[in-house]
Structure formats: C-alpha cells, structure tokens
Amino acid sequence: MRRLRTQVGIIGAGPAGLVLANLLSRAGVACRVVERQSREHVEHRPRAGLLEHRVVAALRRDGLADRLLADGVRHGWCAFRCLGRDVRVDYGALSGGRRHWVYPQQFLVRDLIATLTGGAGPPPMFSKTVRAVEDVTTHRPRLVCDGIEIECEYVVGCDGFRGASRAALPAVRHRVFRRRYPYDWLTVLAEVDRPAEGVVYAVHPDGFAGIMPRTSRLSRFYLQCAPGDTADDWPAHRIHEQLRARLAPLPDIAGFPDVHVLRMRSSVTEPLRHGRLLLAGDAAHVLTPSGAKGMNLAIADAIALAGALLRRYRDGDRGALDAYSARRLPQIWRAQEFSDRLLRLLHLPPGKDGDAGFSLRLRLAAIERLGRPGPHAAAFAHDYVGSGAREPESPDAPHAAEGPTEGSAWP
C-alpha cells in the first residue's frame, strides 16, 4: 500500500474540484485531486455550457479564464416560443449589461487541468477510485484507493451524488431533500449548420423543447419525454419529428453524436460538513438543467470553500469553515427555487389537469411579462444571468480582503 500525505484531499476532477485545487495550490496549500475516470474521459464528456457573469468575473480575477475569454461567446438574450409567438427576453440589457459566456464544460475542465499540471500544483490522480473516506472526525482523515492511501487534514467531496464522500456521511446527522419531477428530458448534442444565436425555450402541447448554444457547429437540444424513457425509445426520425413540431424553425441538423435521457431530479444535502469532510458541487446538491445553474453553483461552492480554507491556513481562523454550510445553503436553495420556477413555466401540468389551451395562455401571459422592461423582468434577468449585483459581498471569497470586485459576490 502506497501512502501519501497532503493538506486537502479533493475527490473529483470536475469544475468544482479543479477550481478548488487551482485556488489552493496557487496560495501554497498542498492538495491532491483524485478522479475515478481517465483524463481523456473528463476532458471530453459534454455537459453544461453556460457560465454566469459572476463566475467568469471570479475566474478572470484568479487567472483561470484566459482561454474562456479568448474563445467563449457572450450571450445576452433568450427567447420563449409559445402559441406561435416568439418573446425575446434581453436579460443582458435588463441586468445592466451582464451576460452569459457560452463555453462548454469540457473545455473549461481541460483549461483547469492544464493550469494545474502546468505548475500550479500536482496533477490530478486519474483512474483512481476512492473506495472509502475514513476517520473524518479525527485530525487525519484518509482517502482509501486501490493500492494508495492518502492522509489529509481536510477532505472535500466533489464526486457527485453517488460518490464515496456522501457514503461517509452518517444518516442520523444528515438529511437529503429530494424532488422527482413527473417528466424527463431527452438531451441531444447535435451537429448544426450554424451556431445558435441564443437560448430558445418552447412551451408546446406535446411537451417542452429547448435549444442551448455550445459551439459554432454544435447545439444542445432538449425534448421533454415520459419518465422512464430511454434513448432507445427515441430513434433519429422521432427526434427530428418532435424537434420540428415543437421548435420550428430549426437549423439544419447533420447528426446526433450524443443522445441520452436526463432523469429530472433535484436534491440538497444538509449540512454540507461532517467533521473534516466538506461537500461541494453535485455531492452537495443536484439541480436540473433548467436555468443552467448546476456548474455555476458548483464553482461558487469551490470559491467559497477555497476562501474558508485559506482563512484556516493563513490566519488560523476556523470560523469560516464552521460557517461554510450555513452560508452556502440559503443560496443553494435560491438556485433550486429559480430552477424549479422556470420548470413550472416551461411545462404544462401533468395528466388531465385542466384544459391545455388555458394552461398555454397562462404561460404566454407570464412569458410576455418577462419580455417587458420592469421590476419583474429585471429580477428574472439578474437571477438568470447570475449577475451578483443583488447579493452581498461574501467574506469567504479568496480575495475578499482586497475589496469587492465587480461580479465577485457569491450566492
């Protein structure tokens, strides 16, 4: 058994784990990232693609956004289609010029890995599964992997809902709040003849559909489907048929390199800490893709946690770590509420709950309200783009002592 020691052990090489590792390593805190998948796998798995205004501002501040700023595309509007109407919501203008950056998650992951391996810290340990997290209530918690044991001072679980970090939580002290929605989404990464100019949401009697920009040649499409559907239930001709019915007009689609079904679930674990084990990202909370909050919330967790750990190591202040869960949970629930609210707007009531025409007209009225300048539309815009303008400055941001930076406040 090979034995290693570090200050912070990080499980998972997704955006949360990699942002945390970069921030800690640059500040001189030793850390090791352990990832069960190969480097090739994590650098190529297509997932999220919209980065909030404040996330990009924070990554830029910490020198982690060079490629993103060079190659990413800014978007400041979305459109809702309902009953033959297209309602454009200029959330960039409504939020004072804040916009999303379109930059696929796998590109950001590649950048973060390259920065870490380029000298910021030790490279992640890929293809190493953490079998157990032990002794988290002592001063020396341990990550137990095949043939390797890593002794740490703190462990951060960024390894998803079914990872080893969550398995180390005692059920009697932690509660998981869950919601299972009465539908799923078919997600289709498609080759297109032109880039999507903005996010499009369609509310349709046959179910929700959406277009999300990714690159000049790829777009992500979503189709509401029955709970329990699999990709096998959706051959190419059926996908084409339903995209045309719900989203016309459509760009020309050349092929579907990636098709699978997203089980529409949300969850929040409380609290986010047990002893010297702390949770971030999907290990702490799972969101639906509605509103594109998942990756952004994970990065926000990482930045808040980096600040708390730096206070611990630089100043000997344990208070920020003790307060991590209490500070993050209200904003996690705020993101959950926004995602849930948008889902309710985009989906008709299940079953035979009233007349579909009535429900569609109610939703069109709500959508038109978002398209008209005013307090209601502005509040939606700030929440949607993640402006940070209506949030207090977080004392746990790594550079908070240097004073507030535009967009650096965290939920």
Q: Domains in the chain and their CATH numbers?
A: 2-77+98-178+266-345+395-402 (3.50.50.60), 181-264 (3.30.9.10)
Which residue in the list 53, 75, 128, 274 is annotated as catalytic?
A: 75
Known catalytic membership, residue 352: no
Query: Residue 398 in contact with residue 62, Cβ under 8 Å?
Result: yes
Query: What average pLDDT does this structure show over 381-386?
Result: 96
Structure tokens belonging to residue 293 = 């909050």
Predicted local distance difference test score (pLDDT) of residue 327: 95
Report whether pLDDT(150) > 60.
yes
Among residues 301, 299, 324, the alpha carbon closest in space to that of 52 is found at 299
Which segment of 248-252, 263-267, 327-331 scores lowest on mean pLDDT?
248-252
Predicted local distance difference test score (pLDDT) of residue 352: 59
Known catalytic membership, residue 182: no
Query: Residue 80 in contact with residue 358, Cβ under 8 Å?
Result: no
Report residue 390's pLDDT band, with 50, 70 and 90 as the boundaries.
Answer: low
Query: Residue 224 in contact with residue 210, Cβ under 8 Å?
Result: no
Which residue in the list 53, 100, 274, 293 is annotated as catalytic?
A: 293
- Round the average pLDDT of the chain to a whole number and report it: 91
Query: What average pLDDT does this structure show over 4-12?
Result: 97
Among residues 178, 262, 267, 175, the alpha carbon closest in space to that of 223 is found at 262
pTM of the model as a whole: 0.91
User: Which of residues 276 and 402 earns the better pLDDT score?
Assistant: 276
Predicted local distance difference test score (pLDDT) of residue 234: 95
Which segment of 117-121, 162-166, 236-240 scores lowest on mean pLDDT?
117-121
Known catalytic membership, residue 382: no
pLDDT over 70 percentage in the chain: 93
Which residue in the list 91, 103, 181, 201 is annotated as catalytic?
A: 201
Residues 6+ apart with CB under 8 A from 98: 53, 76, 91, 92, 382, 385, 386, 387, 389, 407
Query: What average pLDDT does this structure show over 158-166?
Result: 95
Task: Provide the β-strand partners of residue 80.
Answer: 87, 201
Predicted local distance difference test score (pLDDT) of residue 410: 33
DSSP-based three-state secondary structure for 216: coil
Report whether pLDDT(249) > 90.
no
Which residue in the list 91, 154, 181, 384 is annotated as catalytic?
A: 384
Query: What average pLDDT does this structure show over 237-243?
Result: 93
Which residue in the list 15, 104, 213, 289 is annotated as catalytic?
A: 289
Known catalytic membership, residue 289: yes
Helix, strand, coil percentages (3-state) for the chain, rounded to 5, are 40, 25, 35
Report whether pLDDT(310) > 90.
yes
User: Which of residues 355 and 21 earns the better pLDDT score?
Assistant: 21
Predicted local distance difference test score (pLDDT) of residue 226: 96
The Cβ of residue 200 has, within 10 Å, a number of other Cβ atoms equal to 21
What is d(CA 14, CA 364) in angstroms, rounded to the nearest whole number? Answer: 37
What is d(CA 133, CA 168) in angstroms, rounded to the nearest whole number? Answer: 6
Known catalytic membership, residue 313: no
